[in-house]
Structure 1
Amino acid sequence: MRTLKTPMIAAFAAAAITAQTLAATAAELNILTWEGYAADKFISKFQTESGCKVTASYVGSNDDFAAKLAAGGGVYDIITPSLDTVPMMRLAGFVQAIDTAKVQGHDSIYPEFSKNSDFVAEGATWAVPLVWGSVSLIYRPDKFTSKPDSISVLFDPAYKGKISLWDDKSAIYWTARYLGYNNVFDLTDEQLDAVKAKLVEQKPLIRKYWASAGELTELMANQEVYVSNAWTGLTSKDVNNLKKGFEVVEFTPKEKAEGWMDSMMLVKDTPNQDCAYKFMSFMQSADGQCGIAESTGYFPVNPKAVESCMSDELKKERQVNNIEFVKSLVMWQQPKRLDKYLEVWNAVKAAP
């Protein structure tokens, strides 16, 4: 992990000095998070037990966290960025160290996650794992003559206008793997140029870059899109539950699926630390871990917490205690040249 700030992180750090000026009301908890992470079914129980009123705001990309915090971070108490964004939040000064002794159940989290070098840095812990999963491909079997097995399906002219892709810099990771590059988080200038060219070439095939799981669900349910990358478990569940007369199926491409893990970080100078720590502890309990897993279809980070609230069949499906599955994924990392990756992705989106 780098110790020097990139120009982008330095800019955000400067903004953070003035951003933390607003204060949330005591006994409230304001979370900047993802869809499904604050579902009423389990959040209502937390509110009743803790006396803390939860207000959730949502992001569609990890790039949203820095932008929203720089614009006025004091309105948030907890953020839930992905693994590849955690270092940036710390280096930009948006968050403060966490006292893990105040987080009940922290010792039962997979150590592969809780002791990650991006989480434990400078002699302190900066994030508490929340939930994890993979990013696979999703498609309509009734629209394909044979089952696809490769990322190449996202670049197939035969499906022009029926392809979608997440509006996120991770599009670079997918394209890099398709082009045969293994160092997807440390691409050279020449490799990034090739990735950019391929994404620009792909652009006429794209129906829309989706910004949220809900948007992708609508695109597939309305038959606007037949294939896309997707957060494993969530979109397929939501589309198939609509019973539109067709089903969507997920698959892991031969170039591997991506892996991610979202965590809870404490926004710097929040006045609501008591509620924040209560929430972090709740999310390591059976109610929290099974609640978010049920809401999203994702995987729990605390195997002990789900021992009694998940069936053996569901534990197998959600990869409980299957660390080998983690090792099979291309787990997200912060790109070594984050500014360059964002520059490339923005250039792709700006291309005609």
Structure 2
Amino acid sequence: MTKTLLTTTCLALLGLAQAASADTLRLLTWGGYAPDEVIEMFEAETGHTVEVTKSNNEEMIAKLRATGGGGFDLVQPSQDRVMGPQMEFGIYKPIDVSKLDQSLFIPSMLMATMANTTVGDEVYGVPHVWGTSGLVMNTALAGEVVKDYTDLCDPAVAGKVSYRLKRPTLIGFAFAMGEDPFAAYGDEEKYKEIMGKVEAKLTECKANVKTYWGGGDELMNLVRSGEVTASMAWDTGGWKLNEDNADITFVAPASGALGWIDTFVLPAKGQADDAAYAWINFVMQPEIAAKITAVAGNFTASAGADEFAEEALKAKYQASFPQEAIDNIKWYPPVPAGLEAIEGDVLDRVQAAN
């Protein structure tokens, strides 16, 4: 009788421990994506507690691979780190989109991320924080000329242009030339053909380039000093420069800014799915999302959150991203094996060209 009672008591305590564990959301995320204020508000409203581990894409994948998808209840890899790792390692579980308030998301971003994180018939990721690269320029000096990436080759801005010799430049120029490099990801020969056209354009454009920038500080200084009036760079960099010079800002190119999204994904062995869904629905509320933007510096996929952002940042965002520019963002899909080698060869030849 005592033994039975003891066993029953132990099982009851184990059940309580598991329930308590399920009330704790173990979040693996980036710095700034889970501010203390937001955590406190979530805990007060839901009764769940939150444990945050800050990480990056490489570490997230490594941690989940080591545990087979265990140790965390919600993770935030970039959307191009979802499909491949899931197919190769099986470290995520599908998302039940019926448990999400889809009205909280910007529709075009939600649809794009769901499409880019679908394996089989299952969705594995939904969007959270996003950013883009496009054009950063002095609009008073180059705004009438530079509307798209290839306009950086216009004689009117010769010697006043900068961009990186990296894959975003290849992708941006391809779109501006009327190609769709992402659609060619599954056709290596077609991709080589597109990259060949881009290589020719970038080689022709070399005479226009003041310098190929390497680091963000280098580019910021070039634009601030006036040595560069038009460049290919990221949105937050343009908005930062705008604080010093109202003529300088980020402009979404006519062919579309290139966008990255950090997602919400459920690890395969997560134990607190209810808390994970509650967190997603909580932080995607516009007022809460604006608090994350204030800390992280980037906007979220929360519909209408820009209205609650700090006034100066809201004005910059809305000027750079009218609705048509948001809907025209080209979101990076997963990169198939072999394409980066093709791109590397192209960049090497452009660098070496006279």
Please give the TM-score of this superposition, normalised by the length of structure 2: 0.64
Of 77, 84, 100, the match for 1:80: 77
Contact 1:172 1:341 in 2 (8 A): no
- Find out whether 1:163 has 2:186 as its counterpart: no
SS in 1 for 2:115: coil
Question: What does residue 248 of structure 2 align with?
Answer: 248
Distance change (3 Å), C-alpha of 1:120 and 1:217: same
2:318, 2:326 → 1: CA distance? 12
1:201, 1:189 → 2: CA distance? 18
Question: What does residue 128 of structure 1 align with?
Answer: 126
2:116, 2:25 → 1: CA distance? 30
Cα-Cα RMSD: 4.6
SS in 2 for 1:30: strand
Of 184, 190, 194, the match for 2:193: 190
AA matched with 1:240: N
AA matched with 2:194: Q
Could you tell me which runs of 5 or more consecutive residues in structure 2 were left unpaired when the two chains were aligned. 1-23, 185-189
Question: What does residue 207 of structure 1 align with?
Answer: 212
AA matched with 1:195: V
Question: What does residue 29 of structure 1 align with?
Answer: 27
Percent identical among aligned pairs is 21
Which has the larger displacement, 124-133 or 292-301? 292-301
- Find out whether 1:344 has 2:347 as its counterpart: no
AA matched with 2:198: V
Of 123, 139, 148, the match for 1:150: 148
2:176, 2:338 → 1: CA distance? 20
1:72, 1:193 → 2: CA distance? 38
2:298, 2:162 → 1: CA distance? 24
Distance change (3 Å), C-alpha of 1:207 and 1:253: same
Greater helix content? 2
Question: What does residue 234 of structure 2 align with?
Answer: 231
AA matched with 1:96: K
SS in 1 for 2:128: strand
Q: Over residues 158-178 of structure 1, what are the superposed CA-to-partner deviations in whole Å (9 max), with x where a residue is unaligned?
A: 6658613384x3322212134
Per-residue deviation, 1:78: 0.9
Could you tell me which runs of 5 or more consecutive residues in structure 1 were left unpaired when the two chains were aligned. 1-25, 59-64
Distance change (3 Å), C-alpha of 1:136 and 1:296: farther
Q: Over residues 86-145 of structure 1, what are the superposed CA-to-partner deviations in whole Å (9 max), with x where a residue is unaligned?
A: 433432334222244555x34543454445433455343311221456543001347659
Per-residue deviation, 1:27: 5.8
2:99, 2:170 → 1: CA distance? 38
AA matched with 1:148: V
SS in 1 for 2:164: strand
1:250, 1:260 → 2: CA distance? 16
Report the count of equivalent residues: 306
Contact 1:237 1:297 in 2 (8 A): no
Question: What does residue 331 of structure 1 align with?
Answer: 330
Per-residue deviation, 1:216: 5.6
1:180, 1:109 → 2: CA distance? 29
Q: Over residues 304-325 of structure 1, what are the superposed CA-to-partner deviations in whole Å (9 max), with x where a residue is unaligned?
A: x749846999599659xx8654
Contact 1:95 1:266 in 2 (8 A): yes
